[in-house]
Structure 1
Amino acid sequence: MRGALSWPFLRLYVLTLLYFSANSILNVIIPLKGESLGATNTTIGIIMGAYLATTMLLRPWAGQVIQKYGPVKMLRIVLIVNGFALLLYTFTGLGGYFAARVLQGACTAFFSMALQLGIIDALPDKDRSQGISMYSLCASMPGIFGPLLAVGIWQAGDMNSFTAAMIAIAIVTGAAGYSARMKGDAGTSAGKKEQGTAVFKSFGQLVKNPHLFKCSILMLIASVILGASTTFIPLYAAQIESGNAAVYLMLQAGVVVLARFVLRKKIPSDGKWHSLFVMGIMVILTAAAQSVSFSLTGGAAFFYAGAVLMGLAQALLYPTLTTYLSFVLPQTDRNVLMGLFIATADLGVALGSVVMGPIADISSYSLMYMICAMLGAAMILFAYDRRTVFAGSR
């Protein structure tokens, strides 16, 4: 096989799957453990949000460091720190969970930037969207089996199995990562004067660069909705007749994996803004949030329909926006600016936990997801670009 499905890239995708396996378990265990200890939704949201809030802050810097020292060197350091973070979960309480989430967030900033930038740099233009889709697909695959494993561990009350799982994931991921090879192992600017925009100055590009601004706002709001889904579904499912958090999360992840593989060639890879395509994704995401909100009244059918729609929107949006930006961002600053964009996704997921938690505390999960649907509806209009719609109809 060639291109995005050649053996060197397949090894990177397997490494991605292993790395994110721990999080698929923790996304269920942490809310359940927090609730059992009497923590509020606000506290649970802060602990869960600490992961991607840290990732968000370090993304732009990670892009610059990787550009200087190379992806493989940074990857090996990250896997050691990540292994330590996973071990923290095995012998600490909520305070230790918070510290471990922060460490994991720092690791993920470098891990995901190293792999995505390595894929973008190594693949030709026509295969770039497929490579990003495959990376995203493998990052999502643990969501199929992880929730079921987590619920099984929790219901059995056997935290020794949880400890064994964290240790095994840390060891296997580390071993796989140390054998990885990527283009740019020696660094793209080591020994040279640092190029590109300084990290802090680059934040202004979020507003000044219209392409980056549009994609970042869309990704931010979409990620708020996805973050609220990931964090609070394990708790909300208990209020829905025949609702099961593991089934919901597995269904969502399964749709993400299937859609990213089947539809990977349908994602635009031409550097043009496809308004109708992006608007369609936001319609799906809005319908997903509203369906989850209505499930408290309508029942499990709406709950699981929301999972399917949420997974489909998640599968399409991130690769679409990332591929578009890989074409339109200036080459000299692309790594840092791409880091800023991905940071908005992290910020959105963190906000979905931190901000939506208090809303759920003072109102209800159903109303919280309705607010998410309203945010999604606003983004349908934001994605519209009159020039591209009419250009595409000619």
Structure 2
Amino acid sequence: MNKGLSMSAPLLRLYIVTFLFFSANPIINIVVPLRGEAEGASNAEIGVMMGAYTVTSMLLRPWAGSIVHRFGPLRVLRALLFANVVILALYAASELDWYFAIRAMQGFTTAFFSLALQIGIVDTLPDNERSQGISLYLLAGMLPTVIGPIAALSLWHWGGLNAFAASMLILGLATAITGYGAPLPSGSKKGADEKPEETVLAKLRQLVTNRAFLVCSTAMLVASIGFGAVVTFIALYTKQSGVGHAGLYLALQAAVMVLARFALRKQVPSDGNWHARFVVGLLLSITVGLQLLALAVYYGAPVMYAASVMIGFGMALLYPALMTYLTFALPASSRNTLLGLFIAVSDLGVVLGNMVMGPVADLLSYSSMYTACAFLLLTAAAVVILSGRRLALRSDRGA
């Protein structure tokens, strides 16, 4: 078994492709609202344009997992790299009225890209390095969010739409050139229980009886709701309360996530067993962070920044831990489809954190809203504890 394969040259190339692919998004997230405002679009119109990306990506992920399973990660990646160049070029060549459709098309490519890369990494690496590969993939996808917003503002103020257009074309072409010969499997791994005739809906029916998927999805959904509420409302919370600085909070939270995913990637379990204590610990870290955030209005900025560390740490390791476990626990015949659905559940949590927690904050307060999120995390931790014994027994029998 190859030792250190997750950091080998072929895998590093995949992480570079991931970094380049996701580098366009932070720039778009800044420039599109600025262009919309400059051309007289309302906040509601801008919100619909930006939301089309997440909703499309979320809805297509289960289907994307099935397609990747059928045709293999490399073929799917090559097709969408070409589509990505065209879509990024359309941002500069189109009027603002077309941005809803373009954002939806970009969500389409992202759904397939994330599944192709993650499934390809899982199929390439030995079992004991799966968690490291997934952690490094997530790290590569997150790095653009650290430098992208600053780059976007500089581009917009320096050259406006022309600079934006040039950056999109450069990123699209660089991603295509780097990724076309990516060291991914041309076909997906198939198990002995493979049933090619199964439809996506037939595979999704397994969710009713698949305890591993239900427990992991519940934990990820609730954590994502809290995380989405933090990212969306932290600026308004700091403005209303007069405590802390939203930009510093988000930068610190992102830095913790980046450092944790790199430094602790080997600590994420990758043995196929269910580690309930590890998962509960991460959920409690997020819970404590959310409650500290709720109390920051009374105890000041240091408590708020401590919250960013706790939430960033928990979110950094929770997704790779759950994702890695599912790659072992799910049946081979429906693994890729259900992994796609698991990622969609994570996206759904962020959307719910935006849409559901906003009215809660309006009805009560931002502090109460974050307390409600912390309570939901405690409930998810209880679900993991109660289900942990059965999953652990199932893991032992599998071994």
Residue matched to 1:4: 6
Per the TM alignment, residue 282 of structure 1 is displaced from its structure 2 partner at its CA by 0.9
Residue matched to 2:341: 340
Q: Would the alpha carbon gap of residues 371 and 138 (structure 1) be closer, same or farther in structure 2, given more than 3 Å must change?
A: same
In 1, the alpha carbon distance for the partners of 2:232 and 2:98 equals: 18
Q: Would the alpha carbon gap of residues 275 and 187 (structure 1) be closer, same or farther in structure 2, given more than 3 Å must change?
A: closer
- The amino acid across from 1:253 in the alignment is A
- The amino acid across from 2:316 in the alignment is A
Within-5 A mapping of 1:322-333 = 322-333=323-334
Per the TM alignment, residue 345 of structure 1 is displaced from its structure 2 partner at its CA by 1.1
Residue matched to 2:272: 271
Within-5 A mapping of 1:60-71 = 60-71=62-73
In 2, the alpha carbon distance for the partners of 1:282 and 1:268 equals: 16
Residue matched to 1:205: 206
Select the residue among 125, 128, 137 that pairs with 1:126. 128
Whether the 8 Å CA contact 1:14–1:138 is kept in 2: the answer is yes
- The amino acid across from 2:58 in the alignment is M
Q: Indicate yes or no: 2:360 matched with 1:383.
A: no
Per the TM alignment, residue 369 of structure 1 is displaced from its structure 2 partner at its CA by 3.1
Within-5 A mapping of 1:188-337 = 195=196, 197-234=198-235, 236-239=237-240, 241=242, 243-337=244-338
Q: Would the alpha carbon gap of residues 65 and 28 (structure 1) be closer, same or farther in structure 2, given more than 3 Å must change?
A: same
Q: Would the alpha carbon gap of residues 387 and 102 (structure 1) be closer, same or farther in structure 2, given more than 3 Å must change?
A: closer
Per the TM alignment, residue 321 of structure 1 is displaced from its structure 2 partner at its CA by 0.3
Whether the 8 Å CA contact 2:146–2:251 is kept in 1: the answer is yes
SS at match of 1:376: helix
Per the TM alignment, residue 102 of structure 1 is displaced from its structure 2 partner at its CA by 1.5
Per the TM alignment, residue 7 of structure 1 is displaced from its structure 2 partner at its CA by 0.9
Whether the 8 Å CA contact 1:62–1:109 is kept in 2: the answer is yes
Per the TM alignment, residue 166 of structure 1 is displaced from its structure 2 partner at its CA by 2.9
In 1, the alpha carbon distance for the partners of 2:362 and 2:167 equals: 32
SS at match of 2:266: coil
Residue matched to 2:100: 98
Per the TM alignment, residue 353 of structure 1 is displaced from its structure 2 partner at its CA by 2.7
TM-score (norm 2): 0.84
Select the residue among 65, 72, 75 that pairs with 2:74. 72
Q: What does the per-residue CA deviation read over 1:299-344, in whole Å, with 9 as the maximum and x for residues that have no partner?
A: 4333333322222111110010011111111122211122221221
Q: Would the alpha carbon gap of residues 248 and 20 (structure 1) be closer, same or farther in structure 2, given more than 3 Å must change?
A: farther
TM-score (norm 1): 0.85
Residue matched to 2:56: 54
Per the TM alignment, residue 236 of structure 1 is displaced from its structure 2 partner at its CA by 4.6
* Unmatched segments (≥5 aa) in structure 1: none
Residue matched to 1:17: 19
- The amino acid across from 1:347 in the alignment is L
In 2, the alpha carbon distance for the partners of 1:160 and 1:235 equals: 32
Identity %: 46
Task: Decide which moves more: 174-183 or 355-364.
Answer: 355-364
SS at match of 1:265: helix
Task: Decide which moves more: 333-342 or 166-175.
Answer: 166-175
SS at match of 1:331: coil
In 2, the alpha carbon distance for the partners of 1:272 and 1:77 equals: 35
Residue matched to 1:170: 172
Whether the 8 Å CA contact 1:51–1:105 is kept in 2: the answer is yes
Whether the 8 Å CA contact 2:273–2:392 is kept in 1: the answer is no
- The amino acid across from 1:17 in the alignment is F
Per the TM alignment, residue 368 of structure 1 is displaced from its structure 2 partner at its CA by 3.6
In 1, the alpha carbon distance for the partners of 2:245 and 2:34 equals: 13
Q: Would the alpha carbon gap of residues 160 and 253 (structure 1) be closer, same or farther in structure 2, given more than 3 Å must change?
A: farther
In 1, the alpha carbon distance for the partners of 2:265 and 2:241 equals: 34
Per the TM alignment, residue 149 of structure 1 is displaced from its structure 2 partner at its CA by 3.0
Q: Would the alpha carbon gap of residues 196 and 247 (structure 1) be closer, same or farther in structure 2, given more than 3 Å must change?
A: farther
Task: Decide which moves more: 250-259 or 313-322.
Answer: 250-259
In 2, the alpha carbon distance for the partners of 1:234 and 1:84 equals: 34
In 2, the alpha carbon distance for the partners of 1:151 and 1:382 equals: 43
- The amino acid across from 2:329 in the alignment is V
What do you get for the CA RMSD once the two structures are aligned?
Answer: 3.3
Q: Would the alpha carbon gap of residues 390 and 145 (structure 1) be closer, same or farther in structure 2, given more than 3 Å must change?
A: closer
Per the TM alignment, residue 94 of structure 1 is displaced from its structure 2 partner at its CA by 6.5
Per the TM alignment, residue 92 of structure 1 is displaced from its structure 2 partner at its CA by 6.0
- The amino acid across from 2:229 in the alignment is A
Task: Decide which moves more: 155-164 or 242-251.
Answer: 155-164
- The amino acid across from 2:7 in the alignment is L
Per the TM alignment, residue 61 of structure 1 is displaced from its structure 2 partner at its CA by 1.3
Q: What does the per-residue CA deviation read over 1:238-272, in whole Å, with 9 as the maximum and x for residues that have no partner?
A: 44647444433332222111101111111111222
In 1, the alpha carbon distance for the partners of 2:45 and 2:226 equals: 19
Q: Would the alpha carbon gap of residues 372 and 91 (structure 1) be closer, same or farther in structure 2, given more than 3 Å must change?
A: farther
Query: How many residue pairs end up in the alignment?
Result: 387
Whether the 8 Å CA contact 1:32–1:235 is kept in 2: the answer is no
Q: Would the alpha carbon gap of residues 157 and 15 (structure 1) be closer, same or farther in structure 2, given more than 3 Å must change?
A: closer
Task: Decide which moves more: 292-301 or 214-223.
Answer: 292-301
In 2, the alpha carbon distance for the partners of 1:294 and 1:213 equals: 32
* Unmatched segments (≥5 aa) in structure 2: 394-399
SS at match of 2:271: coil
- The amino acid across from 2:288 in the alignment is A
Per the TM alignment, residue 114 of structure 1 is displaced from its structure 2 partner at its CA by 0.4
In 2, the alpha carbon distance for the partners of 1:270 and 1:346 equals: 26
Q: Would the alpha carbon gap of residues 277 and 105 (structure 1) be closer, same or farther in structure 2, given more than 3 Å must change?
A: same
Per the TM alignment, residue 106 of structure 1 is displaced from its structure 2 partner at its CA by 0.9
Q: What does the per-residue CA deviation read over 1:62-104, in whole Å, with 9 as the maximum and x for residues that have no partner?
A: 1111122121221122123333333444466775443333112
Task: Decide which moves more: 77-86 or 125-134.
Answer: 77-86
Q: Would the alpha carbon gap of residues 175 and 287 (structure 1) be closer, same or farther in structure 2, given more than 3 Å must change?
A: same
